[in-house]
Amino acid sequence: MRWSSILTLLCTAASLILTFLCLFSGSSRGFLQNGDLLTLNMSRLGHDVDIFNTTDSDGSFLDNLVNNVQGDVNDLATDITSDIASSLNLSDFYSVYMMNYCKGIYSPNASLTAENGSHVTRKAAYCSPRNAMFHFNITKVVQDALPSPITLSSITWPKSITDAESTIRMASIAAETLYIIAIVLTGLALFSAIASLITTGRLSVCFNTVINALSFTALLLASAIATTILVKAVDAFNAYDTDLGIHATRGKRFLGTTWTATALMLVATTTSLVQVCVGMRGGRGSVSGKGMGHGAF
């Protein structure tokens, strides 16, 4: 039994588990809530900023309604523990995962830990159903949640966020597709690694190396695209942090998980490749030896 084959098997199995976690984290309120790609903190919406657009006031019913709501919100804004988001039917936070999103409240209140030093935890109240080609559209979520007849035009919702979402959507679909491909290939690599342990032929090791390399490539591309998505999305939201009071944070655990899975498949690929090279060198040596023995004999 070759120790290198055991190492390949262990790395492949660990990478497969981690890739599954990347894809299915947050699929329910109690399953790996801290494995999000990014989280939008809406709890400071409207604090220290004027979020309502009343520049085009013409005395209409909508303008009066906006002005009334604005007055209520301004009263809330003076209290650090108040939750303006909930007054607009918005959740304190929205956590985005590969196949769905969850929303909920901060406990014990919506104030930021960085501002008062208290320990604030997230409590998910709802998680959307899993969707194979999921894309989180915060603009639609906010629009659907706002109390009628308040619309996005009633608040200073930047158009650049909507534009960024369309760009991120295609990248999100590509990343998710690559994760699914990586899971299939890593699963095949796992069975191939098991086969290389119980067989002595060089063919199984060569096949295992090829599958490992393909799995590593898929994971590398998926991780790179996912990281790019997070950077662009967080930058797009945080560019308006001071204008809206919305703050986005990248999912550090997700990034750590996906890149660890990628690194493990790199180790598995390298180890199996070394097995092939050592096996080929050993095979040539044995053949040469036989030839010399035959000639001497």
- Output 156 or 22, whichever has higher pLDDT: 22
Specify whether the CB–CB gap between 142 and 157 falls below 8 A. yes
Q: What is the pLDDT of residues 1-24, one digit of tens each?
A: 467 788 899 999 999 999 999 988
Tell me what pLDDT residue 195 has. Answer: 83
CA separation for the pair 199, 254 (Å, rounded):
37
Taking the CA atoms of 61, 62, 63 and 65 in sequence, report the sign of the dihedral they define. Answer: positive
- Output 252 or 143, whichever has higher pLDDT: 252
Contacts of 288 (CB under 8 A, 6+ apart): none
Confidence of residue 45 (pLDDT cuts 50, 70, 90): low
For 55, 83, 91, the CA distances from 154, given in Å and listed in that order, are 10, 19, 19
**pLDDT for residue 148 is more than 70:** no
Give the number of other CB atoms < 10 A from CB of residue 235: 11
Tell me what pLDDT residue 197 has. Answer: 80
**pLDDT for residue 218 is more than 90:** yes
- Output 129 or 203, whichever has higher pLDDT: 129
Sheet containing 247-250: which strands, arranged edge to edge? Answer: 121-127, 101-107, 93-96, 38-41, 247-250
**pLDDT for residue 248 is more than 50:** yes
Tell me what pLDDT residue 50 has. Answer: 52
- Cα angle value 23/210/224 (rounded, 5°): 40
Domain ranges for the chain, please list them.
Answer: 3-282
For 2, 3, 187, 212, the CA distances from 65, given in Å and listed in that order, are 74, 72, 57, 61
- Residues 21-41, mean pLDDT to the nearest whole number: 82
The structure tokens listed for 50 are: 């004027």
* Percent of the chain residues past pLDDT 90, beyond the cut: 21
* Percent of the chain residues past pLDDT 70, beyond the cut: 67
pTM: 0.76
Phi and psi torsions of 174, nearest 5°? -65, -45
CA separation for the pair 253, 273 (Å, rounded):
30
- Output 157 or 60, whichever has higher pLDDT: 157
Confidence of residue 270 (pLDDT cuts 50, 70, 90): very high
Mean of the per-residue pLDDT values for the chain? 75
- Residues 146-164, mean pLDDT to the nearest whole number: 70
**pLDDT for residue 90 is more than 70:** yes
The structure tokens listed for 18 are: 């981690």
From 253, 184, 277, 231, select the one nearest 35 (Cα to Cα): 253
Q: What is the pLDDT of residues 272-288, one digit of tens each?
A: 888 878 766 655 443 33
Taking the CA atoms of 152, 158, 159 and 161 in sequence, report the sign of the dihedral they define. Answer: negative
